[in-house]
Amino acid sequence: MNTTTTPQPHEPRPADRATTARRTTAHDWIPDQPGAWAMALLPALAGMVVGGPNAATVWLFAAWMLCYCVQFTAARWIRSRFARRYLPPTVIYTVLLVMVGLPFVIVHPGVLWWAPLYLVLAALSFAAAWLRRERTLWGNAVAIVAACAMAMVVASFGTLANGAALPALANGGLPATVVFLLVQFGSVLFVKTMIRERGNRTYLLASWGWHAVLAAVTFGLWGALGFGLLFVALAIDAAWLMARAIALPLIARRRRLRPVVVGMVELVSSLLTFVAVITTF
């Protein structure tokens, strides 16, 4: 008797079929991590404050919120290998972004100076989604640069930049961007020590070292300025960041902390950094 079987075409795994077939839900439209919202939007909001709020900065901030929604939904669509459930949010947010963003470009064509940077960052972000490497250090770094640079982008359209030869350098946008970059990359290292790389000594030492240098530089600048009021908020922020980077991993050795606890701690950290930036610059 012939027992040879005819090769069958590859069938998706049950999990893949479920992901593809499931209907679009509210969770597919809105990022459900408050800490991620804070890290993505607070730099742009800080840029609006330190640059001098006006109609242009509010408009640009709204466009950036839609950019974040497009990136979030499109990345999930790409990561899922174009599952239909993720397509409606991607399309709707993209249409809204065009409706809000295109008129801004027409009225403020100077924003196109930033286009090369964000085209590269978008390409890298979607490549990370396709490769399913968004959680790697380089994938995190791409998201951090995109979010933090918005402090400088938004500030360059503020009232304090009016008439400046180099609007991006005319106010506190650049130092705000630098502070957010340093803090957010430290946040990535800290979160990894608490969740994905819990127990990894290399990541723990990297996190402690990063925050120690950040605190040393901050207190050094504060001292160089005579320990005046200017750097008080940044010094407090640096001390808090260092304390939580040391204390929570030590606590987690004896008692496992849920990711939601880590997320809320980082939400507080982001808010403290935001307050420090807008009161300093």
Residues 34-86 pLDDT 10s: 778 899 999 999 999 999 999 999 999 999 999 999 999 999 999 999 999 99
Instruction: DSSP for 15-46, please give it.
Output: HHHHHHHSPP-GGGTS---HHHHHHHHHHHHH
Instruction: Give the residue among 266, 195, 277, 278 at the shortest CA–CA distance from 39.
Output: 266
CA distance 131 to 240: 35
CA distance 235 to 202: 26
Indicate whether 5 pLDDT > 70: no
Residue with tokens 């402690």: 208
CA distance 242 to 257: 18
pLDDT (0 to 100) of residue 21: 55
CA distance 67 to 61: 10
Which pLDDT band, with edges at 50, 70 and 90, does 26 fall under? Answer: low
Instruction: Give the residue among 72, 61, 67, 59 at the shortest CA–CA distance from 27.
Output: 72
Indicate whether 170 pLDDT > 90: no
**Burial code of 221-234, b = ≥16 C-beta within 10 A, e = fewer?**
ebeeeeeeeebebb
Beta-strand ranges (E) seen in the chain are: none
Provide the total of helices (H) and of strands (E) in the chain, helices listed first. 10, 0
Indicate whether 20 pLDDT > 50: no
CA 27 to chain centre: 19
pLDDT (0 to 100) of residue 235: 96
- Do the beta carbons of residue 186 and residue 214 sit within 8 Å? yes
